[in-house]
Structure 1
Amino acid sequence: MTTNDSAASPSPEVLRYAAFTTDPAGGNPAGVVLDAAGLDDAAMPAIAARLGYSETAFLTARNPGAPGTAEPVYDVRYFAPKAEVPFCGHATVAAAVALAERDGTGAGGYLFATPAGEVPVAVDTVGGVPRATLTSVAPHVEAAGADDVAEALAALDWSADELDADLPPRIAFAGARHLVIAAATRDRLARLDYDVPRLEALMRRLGLTTVQLVRRASADVFHVRDPFPVGGVVEDPATGAAAAAFGAYARELGLVPATSVLTLHQGEDMGRPGVLTVTLREGDERVRVSGTAVRIPA
């Protein structure tokens, strides 16, 4: 079902989806507005704030489409309750599934023109369930300053000896910037009670969207959590943008082979479990993130 929320008239249809799950009570809820052409820069953040999800995606169809591409092209903006973000993975997955369902195809290909760059998204079905795969913009990984890491740990109330030395802190980007910090134990990851204003101040100074907290469970399976205070959300339940950035991080540090499929579990500690699949391809620097999405009933 849908809700009508808008500061403009007429009110646009606001869809609600849960991404990276097949359970409406799991994964990460996202708002999706498939026709945002009539919304201005005040209306979009107002809708996102009222909805209260970590992000809402606002799509505007281009006509004609971009030269050289057969896929429908959409300009997309993403708003959290407190801020606009350059790219959001879970809202991208939700929006692509919503488009495929609206178009009655159950599958399709789309090109999302986001503030971070162009993001191709493909939708297929697996066992009758729609699944979207986004392909990130070109990623990069950079060093994290020792003082900045120390400040992050202080805000998190973590100590340096609770970190995994094989996964050193880095700032990773695949559409948005994320500070990656790896815990040495699953128990440390499970206990998240941080100083919200202190971490938010650090993140704003460094231009971060989330801090991605990671625990490696096996060679290609990871548990992750993402504090998101800059967006007005204490924690993001499933974070596709951070998953793409983490894929770039894992490849850059040589943690996984050049061609790999990683499984990220997120949201378990929040009671909203989700699964994100990260695919790396040798010879292609971009990162692919896949996941299901399901409509949230009113």
Structure 2
Amino acid sequence: MPAKNSKKRIRALLQKHDKIAVKKPEEPEVPATRRSDDGLDVNGEPLAKRTKWTNRTRTLILASRTITSRGRHLMRDFQEMMPHHKRESKFNHKVNLYTVNEMAEAKNCQKVMLFEGRAHKDLFFWMTNVNGGPGIRFEVLNIHTMRELKMTGNCLKGSRPLLSFDENFNSAPHWKLIKEMFIQTMGVPNQHPKSQPFFDKVFTFSIVDEKVWFRNYQIIEESGALSEIGPRMVLDPIKIFEGSFCGKAIWENVEYITPRKKRAALRNPLKYRQKKQSKAVYHLTKPTETGFSIDPLDQVFADEPRDEDSD
């Protein structure tokens, strides 16, 4: 019995020795994936750079306290369509509009979209560049919001829009300026943190009867099929100012008629027609030269002596 036990112990010791002597296979080395100081990878090729958010343009969207409910819904539609916007509470309409520039600078915004209400009936739209102007004022007509239209089109929130402009925007200098302001204000910057990296909607701007017609469409297929989303509006340009809410007017729409005059013409069309006719006659008969006109023939007989009256 002791000889058998000793043989078992020897065999157990030999097995342990064999297990210790067996070496495990070496694992392959993992290639280095960290970026080196020279900007090259393991193979010596330059690493692909990540695209950055370079265009940091922000747009401040706000309204005055005299705005109507439809104008407020239109403002909210634009806030949902533009992910690069900043919000601000309503401001008093009696305050000078130049203070809006200070509000934009506090929000670090370079563009401003202001919806201004007048007489609780009319809606005006300002689109300005805070840094050096210009500023454009429109009258908003034929407003239809998203909830009011209930169109079949739909798009993802935060997606970037394509801006489509009519050929008539290249017909005059003031239309070119308005087109550039629309691009800089409503165009979503590339790689914006709150935007989606694709296009699925189109903002269309067309000129009809010297007014800007705005529509918003969804891109359904790559073939170009569109479906309207909303909102709708018509912008009648009034003036273009040199600065942001300040400066002299560099362009003015001569054919523009204020909403009050339109309502007055509807109440009393005969009186309005007489005023227009008298104004046209005044412009036709208005003297073009300044001062008094002197007839040279009046001095022909000035040097001759006058005949004395006989008694």
Q: TM-score range by the shorter chain?
A: under 0.3
Q: Normalising by the residue count of structure 1, what TM-score does the alignment of the two structures yield?
A: 0.28
Q: Normalising by the residue count of structure 2, what TM-score does the alignment of the two structures yield?
A: 0.27
Higher relative contact order (CA 8 A, sep 6+): 1
Q: Which has the larger radius of gyration?
A: 2
| Larger fraction in strand | 1
| Larger fraction in helix | 2
